[in-house]
A and B are shown apart, each in its own frame.
Chain A
Amino acid sequence: MFKVILGLLLFADFARSSDTTAIQKEVPAYSVLSQTSNLTIHPDYTYTFDIERKLVVNSSAGLEHATTRLFYDKLNEVRAFELEVKDVFTGKTLSKAKLKDMADGAYYSSSSVFDDNRYKYYEVTAGKFPVEVTIKSSVFSKTNFFLPAWTPVPQYNQKVKESLFAVNYPSELGLKYKEINLTGDKTTTEANGVTTITWTMTDLAVQGKDFESDDDHKLLLAPVKFSLDQYQGEMTDWSQLAAWQYELNKGRDVLPEDFKAKVLQMVDGVEEPYEKVKILYSYLQKNFRYVSIQLGIGGWQTMTAEDVVKYAYGDCKALTNLMKAMLEAVGIPANYTLVYAGQNADDIEVDLPANQFNHVILQVPTDADPIWLECTSNLLPAGFLGDFTRDRHVLVTKEGGGYLTKTPSYDTEVWNLIQSQSKVILDPQGNATISSKQQLFGNFSEVMLSVKNSLDERQQRDFLNRNSSISGLIVRDYTIDIVNQDSLPKSEISYEGVVQKFSQATAKRVVLKSFMGKLTPDLLANKSLKQVDEYEIELPEAWQPDGNFPEVKLNEEKLTGLLTVALEGRVLKVRREISVQLPEKLEKEQETELLKKINTAFDRTILFTKPTLSTTQIPSYE
């Protein structure tokens, strides 16, 4: 009966709020949650995680809040699940479910060829609202290497009345945690060698889809002492975690003798360490391919180098481990390095030494800056990291220890340079032939690596057509050459083509609208840009300049720009030069304003008079 009354009260509360005009602007709550989570770490490094959720689902939109999805694999087991749906008003049970009723699925990754990641799931249905859903689940893990995090507000549009998270662990094993925006109560007790910490948060604000994830409440946990499949270690600091990772892969970097001999032969007579790295990395890229097979001690231990040599494929761990072994065979030490990869991934929490990683790269120390190798890429030059791993903290692992460091950010002009030189011959109708050369450096060349290698000719032509600042370009002949300068990616693009309507005819004039393209956020993604475009445009005889040619000069701190236009005989010479360096922190609105400002400044039209009224011919069948 109590439950029914509670449900009624909760519903009444919700109904009242949605009727109040003033509160209607608030984010609506599709469900109301009370949750208790109990994480118990056992002395043998295993843990049990029990969750009891009680939800009052107010509308069909809240049903997905009651969906349960429980991950399992060789290390994790779903032990219990119970669910009951009740009518809030009558207290009558509408449906029940147990573990056997859960559906089962594999995480279907398009990139992974094989893994053992699966999940059990259950979706609640209801025909009328509100309903009260009680869900109890228990999972067991054979390792405390990965510990669950607590997010007190798990869903958008969910009102959390109360969320309690308790962790019980043998004091002797230790536990570390990081509280992010936690505002509730915390209590700590210890009895019989077991420490219990309990966090409670109540009456939390409903979050809408626009909620800033940085403002979310979160508790991150990490063990001090841990074990993963008999490999014990400590995570008191980053160095210990690194040492443990090193031990996990120890002995798996032995190269077959004939392969080792081949490796030595490849660098025979080469003195310069970078050259050796380049030769071996290039060999790896040409002869081994990335295949995601996420098996082996929770996906954390590498395949042996011998197996990788045998199959000529491997995942990030396997290819990195092999490259490390190859370099060490020629006397170049290298470090297996853990990273949290992702194009727009947040950096790790540097003050919580823990397993926060999902990828592996290789660091080759030198007297100056280290050489970084992304061993899963068969395109990047040796020493250059793509946007998947650049500019973030990584854990370098070495025997007996390791350290946290940062990968390069490539945010200076040398890594963000675009140059182009184009010659255009215009006919009296405004159509043109064009020959153009472009040089892309650093980050801008990264895109061209995949254009050059992954697209067929039709797609490459289309890429050039679509990405040209000149509308109506039809590329006929082209070349794309990758001419990296050591670790600096460089591409040279050269094309010849025609441009339909390079200029536009108006009643009195010929108009050359700005044809060098606008700056977009993509071009400033790496905080720095230098772009120099030069055009020589051969004009038809009869065209005469109408008024002065535009001229633009921008000279501000961290922003310079220049546009010059000059007529030499029949050749119009146009040069645009832009150099931008963005501050470390720049809000999106500020960036948009800056882009608009630059684009507005350079959006200049060049006018010519015509000897007669429009002579433009367009084929017409009407």
Chain B
Amino acid sequence: MNKLFLLFLATLLPVVLVAQTPKMGEINQNEIDLKSVSYEPGAGAVFLVAYGESRFFSEILETNYFNRVKILTEAGKENGDFRIPYYAGSTNVEMVSAVKAEITNFVDGKPVVTKLGKENIFQVDLGNGNKEYRISFPNVQVGSILEFSYKKADKNLNFLDGWSFQRDLPVLYSSYQIIMIPQLEYKMIGQGENFFNRAEKSGSNGTYKWILRDLYALKGEPYMRNYRDYVDRVEFQLSRYQHAATTSGAEWTDFLNTWEKLGDELIEYYSGKGFYRTNPLEREVLSLDLSKGTQKEKAEVAYYYVRDNFVNEGADWIYTDQTLPQLLKSKKGAPGELILAYMGILKSQGIECNPVLIGSKGYGRSEIVPFPFLNQFDEILLLANLDGNLQFLDLSDPLAPFGYVDLDKHVKAGLFLEKNGSKLIPIDIRHNSNKLTFTNIKLDNETGELVMDNTIRNYYYEGLAAAHDVERLEEDKKPLEEYFSEDYGAFEIRNVKVDNLLEDKNMVNISFQSVLKNATESDMIVFNPLQMSEFAKNPFTQEFRVFPVDFEYSFNETYTANLQVPEGYEIDDYPTNESITIEGSPISFIYSTENLGSIFKITAKLDVKSPLIQRDMYSDLKFFMESVASKLAAPVILKKIAKP
């Protein structure tokens, strides 16, 4: 089919259409006068223009790129080097040519233009088919305007790169134009809050153009691991092409027109690699006794066999480097390969089980694209029917117990692969990844120490994260006390013990003591009874957000401290009760104290009900979290009872 397609395209003539495009050297007065970016003051440099224009020539898509950057500060001068990466492969799938660059400096108000030669433009072969041009601009000064342009020829017409509107610097004008040809029909995939809400769009006679202005620089923010999923983008997936024009009209061939077809192609691919054959796997697991038990029990035994007998190494990816026989021989594979092998074992036991393709978090999309478009998927899950219950299964994490799915795979939907029946399905993996902290506080009169016996129960994915932290410490031969970051304060961490009960009880218990030495020396002991919350310091200190706050999943943290009032002391003072939330209650916090005579009880609970909090709620959230931090750090005061 591809051959036909390419032959056909080779007969096409380029479509010529006059369009307004920014040109090198045509710098306007506003650009010359610009001294800073109004919405991002202090930015070292700015893209005045980032422009791309694509059109079809024969069997390739040619994109002309043009960039104009202004240096605004001394530190901004470090933005005088640019890289143009591309994948040439062994057949020049992508080719970059016509790299041109010039720099305009203003001497006594007059422009002095220097065109860059070969001594400033380098081509680097990075290996494995990856190549890169590197441009180093000479004479970069504050006020310099750097321009560079190049052409990229792309032989892959199934999926077009399109355009990402943001850069690592702020962008004042980001625009992309594509001139379509009638013989190829593409589905457009747009993404991003700005793209949908404020992009200037135009389209006529096959020419489509999008403009976005005044974009923030892409920078990481706390509680936003996957900000690239929120970048404003436009991309294209080929849906059908015209393979002949007859007197009766155009004849079209669908390219990827149904989920079923897309799914069948993937199944065919995996079958070609041997992953739908069960015989080799039956031999592989001969040593396992899978004859007894429920389907879930069998699936669990098989899971641990694969997890513990194969090395999990390599990028999680929907395509596999190895065939099944190669995997069984090397005993080492990428998560996708291990998942497919695991599927084979389950199928060999008569368990209904199929792959589900997903676009993982961080792969570039926050929502699934609702038409058959393969490039949106990058990782695999399994959906198994175990004793009548559907369960998602994964093999990405060598520490994860049966039934855990890598958090990056907790997305909204995926493509369920089944011969002639592939379809989009919702994914809703529920878990209670909470944290419970119990503390017993007492004064040791003999040593004069205030001893806090703590137990933290980390459930589900909190537990898994704790297990990873502990494993890192053990690998590095570091004491478990380093699980808690040293705060160089009065309290000392002692006797840390970790009990990994993830497989049986979905929790990791961490017990330890925090001890205040010489506590009895003064008449008052002022201390914080809830010491171990990461929210005791407000993580949100930035003025505003560009991206939403993403806590990743709903959870709660509960703290309970029981203070045994020591003999000779009384509870003199303690924090007041509090119950707070923000509008819509996506997050809430309660703090309360209770005097039970010899025991003084402090409880607190932070409850994150909606893990994704939009940026328009940020200032409320920031205020809320500061209140939480303040309360979690509030002291209790024990006072010696005055002797009459």
| Number of chain A residues whose Cβ lies closer than 8 Å to a Cβ of chain B | 75
Q: Are A621 and B585 in contact (CB under 8 A)?
A: yes
Q: Are B572 and A508 in contact (CB under 8 A)?
A: yes
Give chain B residues whose Cβ lies under 8 Å from the Cβ of A457: 40-42
Q: Which of A104, A127, A290 contacts B329 (CB 8 A)?
A: A127
Q: Which of B75, B124, B478, B572 contacts A453 (CB 8 A)?
A: B75
Give chain B residues whose Cβ lies under 8 Å from the Cβ of A378: 74-75, 77
Give chain B residues whose Cβ lies under 8 Å from the Cβ of A505: 575-576
Contact with A along B30-46 (1 / 0, CB 8 A): 00000000001111100
Tell me the smallest distance from the CB of A375 to a CB of chain B, in Å: 15
Contact with B along A180-202 (1 / 0, CB 8 A): 00000000000000000000000
Q: Are A128 and B543 in contact (CB under 8 A)?
A: no
A422 and B488 alpha carbons, distance in the complex (Å): 25
Q: Are B331 and A60 in contact (CB under 8 A)?
A: yes
Tell me the smallest distance from the CB of A622 to a CB of chain B, in Å: 5
Q: Residue on B with the closest CB to A307?
A: B119
**B370 close to chain A: CB less than 8 A:** no
Q: Which of A287, A462, A509, A518 contacts B141 (CB 8 A)?
A: A287
Q: Are B626 and A501 in contact (CB under 8 A)?
A: yes
Give chain B residues whose Cβ lies under 8 Å from the Cβ of A605: 526, 635
CB-CB under 8 A for A622 and B580, given A462-B541, A518-B488: yes
Give chain B residues whose Cβ lies under 8 Å from the Cβ of A614: 576
- Give the contacts of A483-521 with B (CB-CB under 8 A): 500-501, 504-509, 511, 513, 518-521
Q: Residue on B with the closest CB to A94?
A: B329
- Give the contacts of A302-326 with B (CB-CB under 8 A): 310-313
Q: Are A313 and B630 in contact (CB under 8 A)?
A: no
Q: Are A603 and B330 in contact (CB under 8 A)?
A: no
Contact with B along A95-127 (1 / 0, CB 8 A): 000000001111010000110001000000111
Q: Which of A128, A289, A462, A518 contacts B77 (CB 8 A)?
A: A289
Q: Are B136 and A113 in contact (CB under 8 A)?
A: yes
A454 and B169 alpha carbons, distance in the complex (Å): 12
Q: Residue on A with the closest CB to B135?
A: A113
A513 and B141 alpha carbons, distance in the complex (Å): 48
**B109 close to chain A: CB less than 8 A:** no
**B476 close to chain A: CB less than 8 A:** yes
**B140 close to chain A: CB less than 8 A:** yes
Give chain B residues whose Cβ lies under 8 Å from the Cβ of A599: 488-490
Which of A4-12, A50-58, A382-390, A464-472 contacts its partner? A464-472
Q: Are A105 and B633 in contact (CB under 8 A)?
A: no
Tell me the smallest distance from the CB of B168 to a CB of chain A, in Å: 12
Q: Are B140 and A312 in contact (CB under 8 A)?
A: yes
**B26 close to chain A: CB less than 8 A:** no
**A208 close to chain B: CB less than 8 A:** yes
**A576 close to chain B: CB less than 8 A:** no
Contact with B along A587-599 (1 / 0, CB 8 A): 0000010011001
Give chain A residues whose Cβ lies under 8 Å from the Cβ of B524: 547
Summed over the interface, the residue pairs from A and B with CB atoms below 8 Å come to a total of 192
A34 and B543 alpha carbons, distance in the complex (Å): 59
CB-CB under 8 A for A458 and B543, given A128-B331, A504-B630: yes
Q: Are B633 and A291 in contact (CB under 8 A)?
A: no
Give chain A residues whose Cβ lies under 8 Å from the Cβ of B332: 60, 63, 125, 127
**B642 close to chain A: CB less than 8 A:** no
Give chain B residues whose Cβ lies under 8 Å from the Cβ of A501: 626-627, 630
Q: Residue on B with the closest CB to A547?
A: B524
Q: Which of B43, B80, B128, B573 contacts A289 (CB 8 A)?
A: B80
Q: Which of B124, B476, B635 contacts A504 (CB 8 A)?
A: B635
Q: Residue on A with the closest CB to B77?
A: A289
A285 and B78 alpha carbons, distance in the complex (Å): 12
**A16 close to chain B: CB less than 8 A:** no
Q: Are B122 and A114 in contact (CB under 8 A)?
A: yes
Name which of A312, A596, A605 has the most chain B CB atoms within 10 A of its CB.
Answer: A312
Q: Are A472 and B538 in contact (CB under 8 A)?
A: yes
Q: Are B330 and A103 in contact (CB under 8 A)?
A: no
Q: Residue on A with the closest CB to B119?
A: A311
Q: Are A621 and B486 in contact (CB under 8 A)?
A: no
Give chain A residues whose Cβ lies under 8 Å from the Cβ of B486: 592
Q: Are A454 and B44 in contact (CB under 8 A)?
A: yes
| Number of chain B residues whose Cβ lies closer than 8 Å to a Cβ of chain A | 74
Tell me the smallest distance from the CB of A123 to a CB of chain B, in Å: 10
Q: Are A456 and B42 in contact (CB under 8 A)?
A: yes
**A566 close to chain B: CB less than 8 A:** no
Q: Are A511 and B635 in contact (CB under 8 A)?
A: yes
Give chain B residues whose Cβ lies under 8 Å from the Cβ of A592: 486, 488
Q: Which of B489, B526, B630, B634 contacts A500 (CB 8 A)?
A: B630
Give chain A residues whose Cβ lies under 8 Å from the Cβ of B629: 471-472
**A558 close to chain B: CB less than 8 A:** no
**A612 close to chain B: CB less than 8 A:** no
Q: Are A461 and B127 in contact (CB under 8 A)?
A: no
Q: Residue on A with the closest CB to B634?
A: A504
CB-CB under 8 A for A618 and B627, given A210-B478, A456-B44: yes
- Give the contacts of B296-348 with A (CB-CB under 8 A): 311, 328-332
Give chain B residues whose Cβ lies under 8 Å from the Cβ of A583: none
Give chain A residues whose Cβ lies under 8 Å from the Cβ of B575: 504-507
Q: Residue on A with the closest CB to B571?
A: A507
Q: Are A621 and B489 in contact (CB under 8 A)?
A: no
Q: Are A209 and B477 in contact (CB under 8 A)?
A: yes
**A600 close to chain B: CB less than 8 A:** yes
Q: Are B543 and A462 in contact (CB under 8 A)?
A: yes
**B542 close to chain A: CB less than 8 A:** yes
**B579 close to chain A: CB less than 8 A:** yes
Tell me the smallest distance from the CB of B470 to a CB of chain A, in Å: 15
**B514 close to chain A: CB less than 8 A:** no
Give chain A residues whose Cβ lies under 8 Å from the Cβ of B637: 506, 509, 607
A233 and B41 alpha carbons, distance in the complex (Å): 54
Q: Are B125 and A106 in contact (CB under 8 A)?
A: yes
A226 and B331 alpha carbons, distance in the complex (Å): 49
A600 and B576 alpha carbons, distance in the complex (Å): 26
Tell me the smallest distance from the CB of A551 to a CB of chain B, in Å: 13
Q: Are A208 and B583 in contact (CB under 8 A)?
A: no
Tell me the smallest distance from the CB of A509 to a CB of chain B, in Å: 5
A527 and B140 alpha carbons, distance in the complex (Å): 39
A620 and B588 alpha carbons, distance in the complex (Å): 10
**A270 close to chain B: CB less than 8 A:** no
Q: Are B573 and A621 in contact (CB under 8 A)?
A: no
Tell me the smallest distance from the CB of B375 to a CB of chain A, in Å: 25
Q: Are A209 and B476 in contact (CB under 8 A)?
A: yes
Q: Are B41 and A286 in contact (CB under 8 A)?
A: no
**B618 close to chain A: CB less than 8 A:** no
Q: Which of B134, B140, B490, B578 contacts A596 (CB 8 A)?
A: B490
Q: Are B583 and A113 in contact (CB under 8 A)?
A: no
Q: Residue on B with the closest CB to A502?
A: B630
**B537 close to chain A: CB less than 8 A:** yes
Q: Are A506 and B635 in contact (CB under 8 A)?
A: yes
Give chain A residues whose Cβ lies under 8 Å from the Cβ of B219: 459
**A293 close to chain B: CB less than 8 A:** yes
Q: Which of B127, B140, B217, B488 contacts A104 (CB 8 A)?
A: B127
Give chain B residues whose Cβ lies under 8 Å from the Cβ of A311: 119-120, 136, 138-139
Q: Residue on B with the closest CB to A105?
A: B127
Q: Residue on A with the closest CB to B313?
A: A60
A114 and B121 alpha carbons, distance in the complex (Å): 9
23 contacts between A and B (CB under 8 A): A103-B127, A105-B127, A106-B124, A125-B332, A127-B332, A208-B477, A209-B476, A456-B44, A457-B42, A458-B544, A459-B42, A461-B543, A465-B541, A471-B538, A500-B626, A504-B630, A504-B633, A507-B575, A508-B572, A509-B573, A511-B635, A547-B524, A603-B489
Taking A289-B78, A619-B623, A620-B581 as given, write out 13 further A-B residue pairs in contact, using a Cβ cutoff of 8 Å, ordered by the A residue number.
Answer: A103-B128, A114-B122, A127-B332, A209-B475, A290-B78, A312-B138, A312-B139, A312-B141, A379-B75, A450-B75, A453-B74, A506-B574, A622-B588
Q: Which 9 A-B pairs have the closest CB atoms?
A: A456-B42, A210-B477, A105-B127, A311-B138, A501-B630, A453-B75, A465-B541, A457-B42, A312-B139
